[in-house]
């Protein structure tokens, strides 16, 4: 006896059964071999710990020893590292970008013509190196005669730590790199204005102007620099 088998009716019946069971969407477009063994799971990759920079020394003496030692960012240059000059307790910090060409031989900050001009600037505002504190963003002078751009952010962090440790009332920023270290990447556009800057231990008033090096090369800029200095000493800038 032949069986009455209609595969179309059987297929429709199976589809109707699955539809009644709530299955209305294919899970995968491709067929799966359910008898195949699953692929072995890869061993988890351990997370690499994020390296953190060691904390900076929290006293001025210890910080300067570190800053002028083998771990300083400029130590790899193989050049003399020049210490700040003047009175660390002074209420005025003069910040420049880097030592000058004469300083590597003398091991003294601003020992050449730029330093003599700075002395005249300080005298004009009633100061001297004995009544001010003078420091540089970079502790050495590279052959290019400029602070490397990729090192500026790190040197800026170190300088803000230095300012927090010394606690001056005001900072005279001389030159673009020194200004960016305190005012930020676009700080040079704010030269000639006395602004309040936060640091770890409080605030400081800062003013940016031209560096002695630039003023020697461009004497015409001295008039604008003098206007800036009047704000620093509490006078009014000339319009």
Q: What is the mean pLDDT of the segment spanning 43-70?
A: 80
CATH class, 60-232 region: alpha beta
- Report pLDDT for 13: 73
Tens digits of per-residue pLDDT, 80-115? 999 999 999 999 999 999 999 889 888 899 999 999
pLDDT for residue 5 is more than 70: no
Annotated domain spans of the chain: 60-232
**DSSP label of 56:** P
- Report pLDDT for 45: 63
The overall average pLDDT reported for the chain is: 86
Helices (H) and strands (E) in the chain, counts: 8, 6
**Residue 239: which pLDDT band, with cuts at 50, 70 and 90?**
very low
Q: 199 and 163 in contact (C-beta within 8 Å)? A: yes
**Residue 205 phi/psi, 5° resolution?**
-90, 135
- Report pLDDT for 136: 97
What pTM was estimated for this model as a whole?
0.75
**Higher-confidence residue: 182 or 49?**
182
Q: What is the mean pLDDT of the segment spanning 128-157?
A: 94
Measured CA to CA, the distance from residue 90 to residue 94 in angstroms comes to 10
The residues, any chain, with a CB within 8 Å of residue 95's CB and separated by 6 or more, are 135, 136, 137, 159, 171, 172, 173, 174, 178, 181, 182
Distance from the first to the final alpha carbon of the chain:
117
Name which of 1-5, 24-28, 59-63, 152-156 the model is least confident about.
1-5
The helix (run of H) or strand (run of E) holding residue 212 is helix 212-217
Tens digits of per-residue pLDDT, 158-183? 999 999 999 999 999 999 999 999 99
Strand pairing category for 202-209 and 195-199: antiparallel
């Amino acid at each position: 006896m032949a069986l009455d088998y209609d595969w179309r009716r059987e297929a429709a019946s199976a589809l109707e059964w699955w539809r009644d069971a709530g299955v209305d969407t294919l899970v995968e477009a491709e067929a799966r071999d359910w008898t195949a063994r699953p692929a072995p799971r890869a061993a988890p990759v351990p997370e690499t710990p994020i390296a953190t920079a060691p904390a900076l020394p929290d006293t001025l003496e210890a910080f300067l020893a570190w800053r002028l030692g083998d771990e300083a960012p400029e130590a790899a240059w193989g050049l003399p590292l020049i210490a700040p000059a003047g009175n660390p307790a002074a209420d005025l910090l003069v910040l420049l970008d880097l030592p000058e060409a004469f300083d590597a031989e003398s091991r003294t900050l601003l020992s050449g013509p730029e330093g003599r001009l700075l002395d005249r600037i300080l005298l004009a505002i009633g100061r001297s190196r004995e009544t001010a504190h003078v420091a540089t963003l970079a502790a050495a002078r590279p052959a290019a005669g400029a602070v490397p751009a990729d090192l500026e952010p790190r040197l800026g962090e170190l300088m803000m730590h230095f300012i927090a440790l010394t606690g001056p009332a005001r900072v005279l920023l001389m030159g673009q790199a020194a200004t960016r270290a305190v005012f930020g990447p676009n700080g040079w556009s704010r030269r000639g204005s006395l602004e309040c800057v936060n640091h770890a231990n409080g605030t400081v008033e800062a003013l940016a102007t031209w560096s002695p090096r630039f003023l020697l090369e461009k004497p015409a800029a001295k008039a604008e620099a003098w206007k800036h200095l009047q704000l620093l000493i509490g006078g009014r800038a000339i319009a």
